[in-house]
Amino acid sequence: MPRARPAVAATGPAAIGDPLVDTHGRVHRDLRISLTDRCSLRCTYCMPEQGNEWLARESILTLEEIERIARVAAADGISTFRLTGGEPLLRRDIVDVVRRLSAIEGPAGPVQIAMTTNGIRLPEVLPDLAAAGLSRLNISIDTIRRDRFAALTRRDRLDDVLEGIAAAAASGLAPLKLNAVAMRGVNDDELVDLVDFAIGQGAQLRFIEQMPLDAGHTWDRTQMVTRDEILAALAARWTLTPVPGRGGAPAERWTLDGGPHTVGVIASVTAPFCGDCDRLRLTADGQLRNCLFSTTEFDLVPVLRQGGTDEDIDRMLRSCVARKLPGHAIDDPGFLQPARGMNAIGG
């Protein structure tokens, strides 16, 4: 995969402390930090069951390196750090990561720390994570049927995920969001049940259109359940009313029967929100990405491990932002799926 050289020239007079604005006027406020490419599940749409080539341990960013990047990013206006994976709870120093990052302040004050997880380790670590400064949780659950969960994830861990969701619901961290990838012939008959389950947990269900991010590159658009199909299934049960003020959020939201409960849809394929995207990504091995579907990465490792300054990190952030395209071009005939799978990019 192409990687930018560390000695990228500054794209203009901007310096540490100035907003990260791309050539299309989008101001970037969200950095998604992948902590590992490893996972405790093997979801069929994400990675193979066996034969995965994991990142070398020495290539994974240390806690100190993550904190250093985050401090520069926060000074440049990044106000939310979302910890992802793989499965971020597999990282042994996860509580320390949250504690260090939550102590960072940017121009607008303390940053927010969010996490996307499968929930399996939450009951044992959530009290410490909350005390360390974790603000919000997204938990992935594509089905609540035991046999289906085992087939989809190749692991019989549904009870563990449900216990994690229960722990999150009882923790007081809000809003709690549950993410489900809608898949034709897999769980498309379960959409209403998943929303009912989320309501029972005091959570918001967010459906995600399946994207071309599987490690095996087997994604087939004809097998994707679209935004319109998801809404049609839900409209058979509830009256859906659009919630205004989406801003840069990836999910469109609707109230159910006038509220207070809501449901979200992240339609990256059929209704992309690229024009309002305010996100950057950092892979577990130190590569900056300006789009989930980017085929170019910006390598921060030489800057971090060969004497680079914070100004060098800032310049790399700005170079990454400056080269962000107006959209992901999934519908373009020349679209190329990223070489990395979702677990290696970060959710």
Distance in angstroms (rounded) separating the CA atoms of residues 178 and 175: 10
Give the residue carrying structure tokens 């992309």: 272
In 3D space, the residue among 231, 233, 280 whose CA is nearest the CA of residue 251 turns out to be 231
Instruction: Judge whether 237 and 192 are in contact, CB under 8 Å.
Output: yes
Instruction: Determine the pLDDT at residue 304.
Output: 97
Across the strands, what pairs with 106? 109
Distance in angstroms (rounded) separating the CA atoms of residues 31 and 251: 17
Q: What is the pTM of this model?
A: 0.90
Instruction: Determine the pLDDT at residue 174.
Output: 92
**184 pLDDT above the threshold of 50:** yes
Q: What does the pLDDT look like over 152-170, one tens digit per residue?
A: 999 999 999 999 999 999 9
DSSP string, 143-204: ---HHHHHHHHSS--HHHHHHHHHHHHHH--SSEEEEEEEBTTTTTT-HHHHHHHHHHTT-E
DSSP string, 66-99: HHHHHHHHHHTT--EEEEESS-GGGSTTHHHHHH
Average pLDDT over residues 73-88: 97
Instruction: Determine the pLDDT at residue 4.
Output: 41
Instruction: Determine the pLDDT at residue 9.
Output: 36
Q: What share of the chain is helix, strand, coil (3-state, %, to 5)?
A: 30, 20, 50
Q: What does the pLDDT look like over 304-347, one tens digit per residue?
A: 999 999 999 999 999 999 999 988 766 555 555 666 666 667 76
DSSP 8-class letter at 220: -
DSSP string, 1-64: --EE-S-PPPSSS--TTS--B-TTSPBP-EEEEE--S--S---TTT--SS---PPPGGGSPPHH
Distance in angstroms (rounded) separating the CA atoms of residues 5 and 102: 30
Tokens of 52: 């995965």
